[in-house]
Amino acid sequence: MNESERKVHLNVFVRVAGHHAGAWKHPDAEPERDLDIEKYVELAQLAEKGLIDSLFTADNYSGTGRRLEPFTLLSALAAVTTNIGLIGTVSTTYNDPFHVARKLASLDYLSNGRAAWNIVTGHSPEDGNNITKWGGYPEPSKRYEIGDEFVEVTKQLWDSWDEENVASNDERHLRINHSNVHEIDFEGEFFNVKGPLNIPRPPQGYPVLVQAGSSENGKELAAKHAEVIFTAQQTLGAAQEFYSDVKSRLSKYGKNHDQLLIMPGLGSIVGETAAEAKDLEDDLFSLLNLENSLKQASRFFSVDFSEYDLDDRVPLDKIKPEDGSRNGGITSRREVVLDAVRRDKLTIRQFLNRNAGGHGHVTYRGSYIQVADFIETWLRERGADGFNLLPQVVPHSLETFINKVIPELQNRGIFRTAYEGTTLRENLGLVRPVNTNRQIWTARFQAAKSIPSEVK
């Protein structure tokens, strides 16, 4: 794609109150509506009004937080939206490929081709305490081996039906053309699946495949399978390095640069002016429980921050190496945070502010012109193909972004003025995947035809 043709892609990471750690106390937030479908409908329709590509819901299998199950929620939202993509998180460690393939195919049909799968291998060791598959929480390399095979099985199940699979008897009766439905007979290290799937190939071929993670294993999994990657970089330099690294891996899997979109998280605080944005940030910072924030930061870095002044630099020389036990399943996030602290020479106050707004992702405060500048710079300088938006306070921050930043991006010619198509793939500019099993089945059919009848 020519540089002049590139447009930024935007996803909204849905949290009912907002992503800022103090958002739940903000007068504009409604955290008590976290199980209210009408609240999610309002947010989805607001994002669709802003021509945003997709919305995304996270998931995990432990903890005491209140969270709706993604497929149930997204299926409901499919009925009240028309264009926006619907991305659900599903772990490859604690599910089964057949069930996931069937659910995602169903969501793709219900939404007329707007489904996507955020592929994660795990969230935290506590998930393994609730789901006994694999005997708990596998170590990272095994989780990614399981995940790689899981995705491969799922894709083969989607490919177990040819595109044309229904033959008509008459005007009132339809029957399955069984010659176009095939067993996959998958035998792997972790999964043995006969197939076929009991629902035809999804409208998009595959729901769009999204992967979240920045570890070495995560980057390789993304290059092999993903079409969108949600990641966390806090500086343009780190984002450019990540972007170049992941894109350079695509050729070994027969993919070009345009077949994987890289979308870092962005927590923006937007004002009419820079001064107004600073006031908004100060208001949000005042809502933080500073004592708890310092304790969390101290635990994260294994340094007692209460011994320092807030305007002291983060004491990098005191931080202990990661031992793998503190930060759960997201093993790459700590290094992303440390890299930003080093590059930007953050004070403790600046770190707390940034972490409160982005939980490991980049945050940016400024006027709507400055925020548009930031987005355009990362797009032009190959630090991102788009952003996973983290509205600080919902709905206020999302409304401000849609009403102020998006028109500015449109004026610059780097964001759409109408949806390009009806499916998420079309709106993201992604190609429809070919049925990889069709050639295999055609060869089997031709071979069977060539066997002499007396042998058969």
Q: Please check the confidence at residue 450 and state whether its pLDDT lies above 70.
A: no
Predicted pLDDT of residue 114 = 98
What angle do the packed helices 97-110 and 70-78 form, to 10 degrees?
20
CB-side neighbour CA atoms (13 Å) of 26: 25
**Sign of the Cα pseudo-torsion (179, 201, 71, 134, in order):** positive
Q: Please check the confidence at residue 376 and state whether its pLDDT lies above 50.
A: yes
Tell me the average pLDDT of the chain: 90
Give me the domains of the chain, ranges plus CATH numbers.
Answer: 7-272+360-448 (3.20.20.30)
CB-side neighbour CA atoms (13 Å) of 17: 17
Quote the CA–CA distance of 46 and 216 in Å, as a whole number: 36
Q: What is the pLDDT of residues 261-300, one digit of tens each?
A: 999 999 999 999 999 999 999 999 899 988 888 988 888 8
Q: Is the peptide bond before 395 cis (omega within 30 degrees of 0)?
A: yes
Quote the CA–CA distance of 116 and 97 in Å, as a whole number: 15
CA torsion, ordered 182, 115, 38, 83, to nearest 10 deg? -130
Predicted pLDDT of residue 330 = 45
Quote the CA–CA distance of 389 and 304 in Å, as a whole number: 32
Q: Please check the confidence at residue 411 and state whether its pLDDT lies above 50.
A: yes
Q: Which residue is listed with tokens 């998280």?
A: 265
Task: Pick the most confident of 410-414, 431-435, 450-454.
Answer: 410-414
Q: Which amino acid appears at position 364 of this protein?
A: Y
State both tokens at 270.
């937007």
Quote the CA–CA distance of 342 and 332 in Å, as a whole number: 16
Question: Which band of pLDDT confidence, cut at 50, 70 and 90, is reported for residue 394?
Answer: very high
